[in-house]
A and B are shown apart, each in its own frame.
Chain A
Amino acid sequence: MEKFVSHTGTAVPLRRSNVDTDQIIPAVYLKRVTRSGFEDGLFAAWRADADFILNRPERAGASVLIAGPDFGTGSSREHAVWALQNYGFKTVISARFADIFRGNSLKGGLLTVVLPQETVEQLWAATEADPATTVTVDLDAREVRCGDLVAPFEIDDYTRWRLMEGLDDIGLTLRNVSAVDEFETHRPSFKPVTLPA
Chain B
Amino acid sequence: MSALESFKKEVGEFLDQNCPESMRQPMKSEDDAYWGGRNGSFKNDDQKSWFEAMAAKGWTTPEWPAEYGGGGLSKDEARILKKEMAKRNCRTPLLSFGIWMLGPALLKFGSEEQKHQYLPDIINGKIRWCQGYSEPNAGSDLASLATSATTVGDNYIVNGQKVWTSYADQSDMIFALTRTSGEGKKQQGISFLLVDMAAEGVSTRPIKLISGKSPFCETFFDNVKVPKANLVGAEGGGWSVAKYLLTHEREMIGETTDPSAMIPLNVSAKKDIGMNADGKLADPVMRKEVAEWEIDGAGFLFTIARLKDEMKAGQPIGAKSSFLKYYGTELNKKKYELHLTNKGLDSLGWDGEQYEEGKLARMFCRTKGNSIEGGTSEVQLNIISKRILELPSE
A binds B: no
